[in-house]
């Protein structure tokens, strides 16, 4: 078990290093940090002093190591645009994005998995066909358009739900949460659906095709031949076996929810990391972009690890056993 | 004539004629493409001709609403611009960027895939590792990053001038790995076939072997991939433009139009955003359905 | 004579397809007595497995029973609602499938699969089910059963897994078992052991067996009676010794002649010319008529029923006592 986790972490290191290299490349070669920090007027001494202070006169690999060291300590320098430490900006924005991503994942899973199971079990029913058509449209509808349509219907026409922001938040230490107020919950509804809908349709299609596959398998036929109840065949034998492949893909999908939140946060003016990132892209704020990139990479690596562990829990064939 | 008759009788066309979804999607896609390409000829107004704009016409609702008129079937925007014409011109930009970006991704992917598959060894390992890592990230994130880097690296005026190309390259870079993987897989298989060995023995150069022997074998899968990616590329462009980092406002695409219309959602002029949105969905959905059909028709074993 | 446990009467199974309805089984009839082992042989596609699937009520859609009846102890089971048929499967009719590598759920321990089956059908608590699960594993010859009960299927070899499958089929103590090619996927060296095990356990419990196989050796050793199937019909049925030694139907005679004898070497094995017709192109009259060496006019027009023939019953006009062969020529 421990060796398994360790090997997974070791495998993740090259990926993180590659991403770090890109982030470092952004820092060092794109734009001119010195010019950005000093402004228009500066003397040669000032410039040299800053170069020395930033370590820019050292060999490139020393700079890279220093960059990694700083990144590990959460130091990404100052935002060009806001002149504040990048780490502070991200810590401020992270709760908004994480709460949104959590709700969107819950929406995608809680609706997508049952819909996939249903369409897999009752292939010919009209409801299944309706679900499938809906999923096709869902895949072709860009996220921002879904958001706009939802805002139009539920905020503009019906006036039921807010169209922007997080509502009232409560500060718990450094974490600001929208989960403790009614307006916070109301504000979460539309963005969560917007962000979750695409993943929902993907999860539904995936679960459906895996269910169809498993229902054709010999062990499901044998379970039927043993006279087991439909409920235990469908949800015990079939669904549990579909979980193995579903977990991987769903895991990765949930990872991309955090990245996709860029668009949703823009539509709903949600004060999260995605909005921060898009603002930094339009103003070429390199430190923020680099930090966000590393953060997303770390999230993906973490999710991959969790997926592997879940695999391990679900599939006994991966655990060391007798006979192999 | 002979070629036409052969096409009419081919399996592919038979499958097309017997699949209603494919026919309808093809018609919708055709309408979108013709409307977009021939916009300067077909569009009722020129949305870029400032002289023709009349603020008196601003915020006209679409024809189907009570106060609307057929002079502007989809209504007008805040400047008095005809929304239908703006959509046709916008679709032109969307389509141009989508097709170019897909072509760029295809070219890059084929080049990398052939190199990796034929060279093998370290080059293969490094190139495919890069592709794998990139595939882990959503393509829109990669496109945003490339766009952001371009913004930081290029002087502002220059960037504004070549913004469309930057978007094309950004989306192209975000989608090349899928093409590269497909081509590489098939290059690996073909490389060891006897006729390739024979060609090598008689001194045919590797690039030539790749182009004449390996590439034709992957044309089918590449076509399917390119079609499905065209829909994705159009969506990526729309998303970038909606986020305000795509094509410049002087050349509004469908995404830009939706971004502009979004500001008028609350004042009741919903049509400024919704009609471009519907046009975008019609275009992408029809392309996606065609891609799905093509995949099933070219490879019946796939589900 | 005791009343039969299972009666299959004129069973017809059809598959609606785009090009019309296919008859996969055409008026199949046979009985199985309590405690009897009926072997069912025939080429692939003859309808052996289809008959088994119809009996346990698990025909693959769109296949459906289109005629005839299946009776278990005199009660029809072919038209039961799914809920009641489920109570018969496992509880009164067990099933053993071909490939033990794929018939066990890889994610559950064998013990869990056994207890699940028993608790579905028998009124016993979890502790008792577990006790019996260990007992069943012992009965099918799994060493260290008390430990292995918590092992997963992938931790067993193919032969051991088929033993587990046999335990699963028998654990709710059914009156009969449908065993569809139970040894085909196994290593040759293990086949005999598994068949012997199946035979011993079912004899001890008095369970009837419908043993579907294309292996005549297995039939000769195990079965009491044998049914030979051809193109979705029963060609001949009778005591195993009579069918093997002195088959009446020309098809079964050909089939038996093509088995290599163990006693002496032969240069050429006789073989039946031609191939079994596809379901789309079954000839009129007797389905075997294009390949039959004894074919005459009546065979091409009228389909023969099962007729008494020597020690067996054969679907062949050669044995029609009312209309002797000579008269058929007229």
ipTM, two decimals: 0.86
What are C226-261's pLDDT values in tens digits?
A: 999 988 889 999 998 888 888 888 888 888 887 776
Closest-CA residue in chain A for B286? A140
pLDDT at A36: 61
Given the DSSP bridges, would you call strands C93-96 and C176-180 parallel, antiparallel or unpaired? parallel
pLDDT at C225: 92
How would residue A319 be classed by pLDDT, with cut points 50, 70 and 90? low
Is the CA virtual torsion B57, B62, B66, B71 positive or negative?
positive
How would residue C290 be classed by pLDDT, with cut points 50, 70 and 90? confident
SS3 A158: coil
On whether the B82-302 domain is CATH 1.10.3720.10, my answer is yes
Question: Do residues A97 and A188 make contact, with C-beta atoms less than 8 angstroms apart?
Answer: no
pLDDT at B59 > cutoff 70: no
CB contact under 8 A, B152 and A286: yes
Nearest-angstrom CA–CA distance, A278 and A272:
10
pLDDT at B302 > cutoff 50: no
Region B144-155 average pLDDT: 80
Tell me the nearest-neighbour CA distance from A169 into chain C, angstroms.
Answer: 44
How many percent of chain C have pLDDT more than 90? 28
Q: Which residues of C touch A219 (CB under 8 A)?
A: 102-106
Region B103-112 average pLDDT: 92
DSSP-derived secondary structure for C13-62: EEEEETTEEEEEEEEEEEEE-TT-EEEEE-STTSSHHHHHHHHTT-PPTT
pLDDT at A261: 87
CB contact under 8 A, A148 and B145: no
Tell me the nearest-neighbour CA distance from A128 into chain B, angstroms.
Answer: 17
Whether the upstream peptide bond of residue B191 has omega within 30° of 0, thus cis, is no
Largest separation between any pair of C-alpha atoms in chain C: 73
CB contact under 8 A, A259 and B138: yes
Nearest-angstrom CA–CA distance, A197 and C68:
51
* Residue A158, token pair as written in the block: 């019906």
How many percent of chain C have pLDDT more than 70? 94
Question: Do residues C126 and C119 make contact, with C-beta atoms less than 8 angstroms apart?
Answer: yes
The DSSP 8-state label assigned to residue B51 in this structure reads G
Rounded to the nearest 10°, the torsion over CA C265, C268, C269, C271 is 180
What are A80-131's pLDDT values in tens digits?
A: 777 788 888 888 888 889 889 989 989 988 999 899 999 988 888 888 888 8
Judge residue B204's burial from the number of C-beta atoms within 10 Å of its C-beta, 0-12 exposed, 13-18 middle, 19 or more buried.
Answer: middle
What are A132-155's pLDDT values in tens digits?
A: 888 877 777 888 888 888 888 888
The DSSP 8-state label assigned to residue C68 in this structure reads E
Tell me the nearest-neighbour CA distance from B114 into chain A, angstroms.
Answer: 23
Cβ contacts of residue A157 below 8 Å, gap of 6+? none
Q: Across chain A, where does the E strand assignment appear?
A: 170-172, 175-177
pLDDT at B107: 92
Task: Specify the pTM.
Answer: 0.78
**Average per-residue pLDDT in chain A?**
81
What are C167-191's pLDDT values in tens digits?
A: 999 998 899 999 998 888 888 888 8
pLDDT at B56: 67
Judge residue B58's burial from the number of C-beta atoms within 10 Å of its C-beta, 0-12 exposed, 13-18 middle, 19 or more buried.
Answer: middle
Region A258-287 average pLDDT: 85
Question: Do residues C222 and C211 make contact, with C-beta atoms less than 8 angstroms apart?
Answer: yes
pLDDT at B28: 84
Q: Could you tell me the end-to-end alpha-carbon distance of chain B, in angstroms, rounded to an integer?
A: 35
* Residue A76, token pair as written in the block: 């990404």
Q: Which residues of C touch A236 (CB under 8 A)?
A: 108, 116
Judge residue B28's burial from the number of C-beta atoms within 10 Å of its C-beta, 0-12 exposed, 13-18 middle, 19 or more buried.
Answer: middle
* H/E run at residue C236: strand C233-239
**Interface probe with C: pick from A222, A310, A311, most Cβ of C within 10 Å:** A222
Bigger pLDDT: C186 vs B7: C186
Region C43-47 average pLDDT: 84
Cβ contacts of residue B22 below 8 Å, gap of 6+? B15, B16, B289, B290, B293, B297
pLDDT at C212: 92
Judge residue B74's burial from the number of C-beta atoms within 10 Å of its C-beta, 0-12 exposed, 13-18 middle, 19 or more buried.
Answer: buried
Region C29-49 average pLDDT: 89
Picking from A2-6, A295-299, B55-59, B103-107, which range would have the lowest pLDDT averaged per residue?
A: B55-59
**Cα B267 from chain centroid?**
33
What are C109-155's pLDDT values in tens digits?
A: 999 999 999 999 999 999 999 999 999 999 898 898 889 999 999 88
Side-chain-facing half-sphere of B20: CA atoms under 13 Å: 0
pLDDT at C330 > cutoff 60: no
Nearest-angstrom CA–CA distance, B263 and B242:
12
Q: Tell me the residues of chain A between 299 and 318 that have a Cβ less than 8 Å away from chain C.
A: 314-317
How many percent of chain A have pLDDT more than 70? 91
How would residue B136 be classed by pLDDT, with cut points 50, 70 and 90? confident
Which of A314, A322, A324 shows the shortest C-beta gap to C107? A314
Tell me, yes or no, if A221 comes closer than 8 A to chain C by beta carbon. Answer: yes
CB contact under 8 A, A224 and C58: yes
pLDDT at B275: 86
SS3 C211: strand
pLDDT at C137: 92
Tell me, yes or no, if A229 comes closer than 8 A to chain C by beta carbon. Answer: yes
How many percent of chain B have pLDDT more than 90? 5
* Phi and psi based region of residue C80 (left: phi greater than 0; alpha: psi -120 to 50; beta: remaining): beta
Nearest-angstrom CA–CA distance, A184 and A180:
7
SS3 per residue for B171-190: HHHHHHHHHHHHHHHHHHHH
Nearest-angstrom CA–CA distance, C169 and A97:
53
pLDDT at A323: 38
Is the CA virtual torsion A83, A89, A90, A91 positive or negative?
positive
Which of A222, A236, A322 shows the shortest C-beta gap to C103? A222
How many percent of chain A have pLDDT more than 90? 4
Which of A225, A314, A315 shows the shortest C-beta gap to C58? A225
Question: Do residues C316 and C286 make contact, with C-beta atoms less than 8 angstroms apart?
Answer: yes
What are B11-46's pLDDT values in tens digits?
A: 777 777 777 778 888 888 888 888 778 777 777 777
What are C142-174's pLDDT values in tens digits?
A: 898 889 999 999 889 888 999 999 999 999 889
CB contact under 8 A, B144 and A278: yes
Residue ranges of domains in chain B: 82-302
Region A223-243 average pLDDT: 87
pLDDT at C326 > cutoff 60: no
Given the DSSP bridges, would you call strands C233-239 and C312-314 parallel, antiparallel or unpaired? antiparallel
Chains touching chain C at 3 or more Cβ pairs under 8 angstroms?
A: A
CB contact under 8 A, A282 and B239: no
């Amino acid at each position: 078990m421990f060796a398994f986790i360790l090997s997974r972490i070791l495998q993740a290191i090259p990926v993180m290093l590659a991403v770090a290299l890109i982030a470092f490349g952004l820092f060092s070669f794109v734009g001119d940090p010195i010019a950005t920090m000093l402004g228009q007027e500066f003397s040669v001494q000032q410039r040299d002093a800053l170069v020395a202070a930033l370590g820019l006169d050292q060999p490139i690999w020393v700079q890279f190591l220093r960059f990694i060291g700083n990144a590990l300590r959460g130091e990404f320098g100052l935002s060009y645009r806001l002149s504040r430490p990048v780490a502070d900006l991200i810590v401020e924005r992270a709760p908004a994005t994480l709460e949104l991503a959590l709700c969107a994942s819950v929406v995608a899973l809680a609706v997508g998995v049952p819909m996939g199971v249903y369409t897999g079990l009752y292939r010919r029913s009209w409801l299944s066909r309706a679900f499938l058509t809906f999923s096709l449209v869902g895949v072709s509808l860009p996220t921002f358009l879904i958001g706009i349509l939802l805002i139009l219907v539920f905020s503009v026409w019906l006036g039921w739900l807010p169209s922007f922001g997080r509502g009232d938040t409560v500060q718990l230490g450094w974490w600001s949460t929208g989960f403790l107020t009614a307006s916070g919950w109301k504000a979460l509804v539309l963005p969560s659906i917007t962000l979750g809908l695409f993943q929902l349709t993907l999860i539904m299609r995936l679960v459906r095709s895996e269910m169809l596959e498993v229902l054709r398998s010999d062990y499901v036929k044998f379970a039927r031949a043993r006279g087991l109840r439909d409920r235990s065949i469908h949800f015990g034998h079939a669904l549990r076996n579909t979980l193995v492949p579903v977990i991987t893909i769903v895991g990765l999908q949930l990872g991309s929810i955090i990245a996709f939140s860029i668009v949703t946060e823009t539509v709903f003016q949600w004060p999260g990391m995605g909005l921060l990132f898009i603002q930094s892209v339009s103003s070429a704020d390199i430190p923020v972009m680099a930090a966000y990139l590393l953060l997303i990479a770390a999230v993906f690596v973490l999710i991959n690890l969790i997926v592997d562990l879940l695999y391990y829990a679900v599939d006994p064939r991966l655990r060391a056993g007798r006979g192999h | 004539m002979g070629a036409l008759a052969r096409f009419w009788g081919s399996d592919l066309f038979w499958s097309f004629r017997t699949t209603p979804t494919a026919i309808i999607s093809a018609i919708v896609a055709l309408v979108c493409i013709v409307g977009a390409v021939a916009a300067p000829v077909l569009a009722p107004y020129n949305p870029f001709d400032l002289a023709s704009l009349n603020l008196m016409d601003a915020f006209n609702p679409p024809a189907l609403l009570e106060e609307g008129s057929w002079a502007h079937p989809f209504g007008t925007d805040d400047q008095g611009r005809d929304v239908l014409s703006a959509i046709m011109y916008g679709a032109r930009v969307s389509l141009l960027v989508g097709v170019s970006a897909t072509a760029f991704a295809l070219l890059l992917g084929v080049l990398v895939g052939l190199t990796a598959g034929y060279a093998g060894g370290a080059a293969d390992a490094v190139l495919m590792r890069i592709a794998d890592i990139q595939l882990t990230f959503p393509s829109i994130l990669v496109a945003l990053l490339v766009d952001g880097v371009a913004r930081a690296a290029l002087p502002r005026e220059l960037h504004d001038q070549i913004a469309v190309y930057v978007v094309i390259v950004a989306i192209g870079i975000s989608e090349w790995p899928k093409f590269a993987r497909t081509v590489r897989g098939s290059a690996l298989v073909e490389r060891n076939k006897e006729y390739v060995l024979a060609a090598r023995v008689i001194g045919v150069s590797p690039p030539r072997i790749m182009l004449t022997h390996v590439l034709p074998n992957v044309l089918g899968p590449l076509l399917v991939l390119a079609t499905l990616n065209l829909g994705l590329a159009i969506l990526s462009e729309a998303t970038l433009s909606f986020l305000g980092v795509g094509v410049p406002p002087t050349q509004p695409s469908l995404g830009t139009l939706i971004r502009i219309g979004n500001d008028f959602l609350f004042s009741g002029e919903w049509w400024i955003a919704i009609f471009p949105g519907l046009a975008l969905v019609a275009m992408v959905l029809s392309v996606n359905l065609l891609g799905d059909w093509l995949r099933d028709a070219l490879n019946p074993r796939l589900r | 004579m005791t009343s039969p446990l299972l009666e299959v009467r004129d069973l017809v199974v059809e598959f609606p397809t785009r090009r019309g309805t296919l008859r996969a089984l055409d008026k199949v009839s046979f009985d199985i007595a309590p405690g009897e082992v009926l072997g069912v042989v025939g080429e692939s596609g003859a309808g052996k497995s289809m008959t088994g699937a119809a009996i346990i009520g698990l025909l693959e859609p769109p296949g459906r029973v289109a005629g005839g009846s299946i009776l278990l102890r005199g009660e029809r089971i072919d038209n039961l609602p799914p809920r009641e048929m489920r109570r018969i499967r496992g509880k009164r009719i067990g099933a053993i499938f071909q490939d033990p590598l794929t018939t066990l759920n890889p994610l559950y321990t064998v013990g869990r699969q056994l207890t699940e089956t028993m608790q579905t059908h028998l009124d016993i608590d979890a502790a008792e089910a577990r006790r019996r699960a260990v007992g069943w594993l012992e009965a099918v010859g799994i060493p260290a059963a008390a430990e292995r009960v918590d092992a997963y299927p992938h931790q067993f070899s193919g032969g051991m897994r088929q033993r587990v499958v046999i335990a699963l089929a028998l654990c709710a103590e059914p009156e009969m078992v449908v065993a569809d090619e139970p040894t085909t996927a196994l290593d040759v060296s293990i086949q005999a052991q598994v068949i012997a095990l199946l035979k011993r356990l079912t004899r001890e419990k008095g369970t009837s067996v419908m043993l579907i196989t294309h292996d005549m050796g297995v039939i000769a050793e195990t079965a009491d009676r044998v049914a030979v199937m051809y193109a979705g019909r029963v060609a001949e049925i009778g005591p195993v010794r009579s069918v093997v030694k002195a088959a009446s139907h020309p098809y079964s005679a050909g089939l038996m002649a093509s088995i290599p004898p163990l006693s002496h070497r032969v240069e050429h094995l006789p073989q039946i010319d031609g191939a079994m017709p596809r379901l789309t192109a079954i000839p009129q009259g007797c389905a075997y008529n294009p390949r039959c060496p004894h074919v005459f006019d009546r065979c091409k027009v009228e389909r023969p029923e099962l007729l008494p023939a020597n020690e067996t019953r054969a679907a062949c006009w050669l044995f029609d006592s009312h209309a002797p062969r000579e008269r058929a020529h007229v």
